[in-house]
């Protein structure tokens, strides 16, 4: 196996809370990447991604309450170590301040982030109603959107940044919670015999996230099924014709169990 930081990582969440956080992390990462690009097409897909975020964070979601609970638990875990010289106080103090700031800002928000953003910006709400229609943003269907895409890169980027900032501190809160989950990982070296692996979780573990680390040189990927008691993995590959095929060779890999 290569070093962990060079491995291909496949994450498998074991509850709906983690599924939501991982989806949001991917969407926020994509948003930031598209925001730094310059073409109208890039910014079109940035808006599509923004609307995906709004769908995930809909008013019925308990996301805000879950994040507040997670941030509070993280603070309670770290605060007893503040002032203890056995720990890096520079890092610890900065992390506690970051958690406190993020939690305070999150407390001042509501579950109505998506609703408030769309109510505040009628243009954005109108675009959301058109953008999912195939071809629905052509100039003859929605000329005001075409006009926006013809604005300067700087103007479009600032508009996008304003809409993303309206969701603050959600991206930071999601990142902090997922960092804590991943930092709790316990790593096991295992073997998929003839491409198959199945095993119960250790009795003293109750993972919320499983991470599978594979050597990228193999070109393999795992098809994973898991519940709170056990995990099963089948190693697969893509053929030159992009067909999924099962791998029947012994394959070493690593499993990380995250609390």
pLDDT in tens, 162-190: 999 988 899 999 999 999 999 999 999 99
Check: CB of residue 201 under 8 Å from CB of residue 256. Answer: no
Summarize the confidence of residues 182-211 as an average pLDDT: 95
Helix H segments across 36-135? Answer: 40-56, 63-78, 89-107, 113-120, 122-131
What kind and span of H or E run contains 145? Answer: helix 143-149
Buried b (16+ CB within 10 A) or exposed e, 179-201: ebbeeebeeeebebeebbbeeeb
At 129-160, the pLDDT tens digits run: 999 899 999 999 999 999 999 999 999 999 99
Query: How many other C-beta atoms are found inside a 10 Å radius of the C-beta of residue 158?
Result: 12
Domains and CATH numbers, the chain: 17-176 (1.10.3900.10), 185-258 (2.60.440.10)
Q: Is 16 left (phi over 0), alpha (psi -120 to 50) or beta?
A: alpha
pLDDT by residue (tens digit) across 78-90? 988 888 888 888 9
The distance from CA 11 to its chain's CA centroid, rounded to whole angstroms, is 11
69 CB-near residues (< 8 Å, 6+ apart): none
Q: Which residue has the higher pLDDT, 128 or 5?
A: 128
Half-sphere exposure of 151 (CA within 13 A, CB side): 16
Q: 15 pLDDT exceeds 70?
A: yes
Report the pLDDT value the prediction gives residue 62, as an integer from 0 to 100.
85
- Model confidence at 108, pLDDT cuts 50, 70, 90, reads confident
Could you tell me which of 93, 110, 95 has the C-alpha nearest to residue 176? 95
Helix H or strand E segment including 179: helix 170-183
With bands split at pLDDT 50, 70 and 90, how would you rate the model's confidence at 2?
Answer: low
pLDDT reported for residue 6: 63
What three-state secondary structure class fits 115?
helix
Tens-digit pLDDT profile for residues 38-77: 999 999 999 999 999 998 987 666 899 999 999 999 999 9
Number of residues that this document lists for the chain: 259
């Amino acid at each position: 196996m290569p070093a962990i930081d060079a491995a291909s990582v496949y994450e498998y969440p074991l509850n709906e809370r983690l599924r939501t956080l991982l989806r949001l992390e991917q969407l926020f990462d994509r948003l930031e990447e598209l925001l730094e690009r310059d073409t109208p097409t890039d910014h079109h897909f940035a808006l599509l991604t923004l609307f995906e975020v709004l769908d995930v964070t809909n008013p019925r979601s308990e996301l805000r309450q879950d994040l507040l609970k997670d941030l509070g638990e993280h603070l309670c875990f770290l605060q007893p170590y503040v002032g203890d010289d056995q720990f890096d106080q520079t890092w610890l103090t900065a992390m506690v301040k970051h958690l406190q700031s993020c939690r305070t800002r999150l407390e001042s928000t509501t579950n109505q982030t998506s609703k408030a953003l769309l109510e505040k910006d009628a243009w954005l709400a109108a675009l959301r109603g058109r953008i999912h229609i195939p071809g629905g943003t052509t100039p003859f269907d929605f000329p005001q959107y075409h006009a926006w895409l013809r604005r300067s890169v700087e103007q479009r980027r600032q508009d996008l940044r304003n809409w993303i900032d309206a969701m603050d501190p959600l991206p930071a809160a999601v990142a902090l919670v997922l960092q804590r989950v991943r930092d709790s990982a316990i790593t096991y070296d295992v073997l998929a015999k003839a491409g198959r692996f199945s095993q119960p979780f250790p009795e003293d573990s109750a993972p919320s996230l499983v991470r599978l680390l594979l050597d990228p040189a193999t070109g393999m990927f795992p098809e994973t099924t898991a519940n709170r008691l056990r995990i099963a993995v089948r190693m697969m590959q893509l053929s030159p014709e992009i067909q999924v095929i099962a791998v029947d060779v012994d394959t070493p890999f690593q499993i990380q169990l995250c609390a």
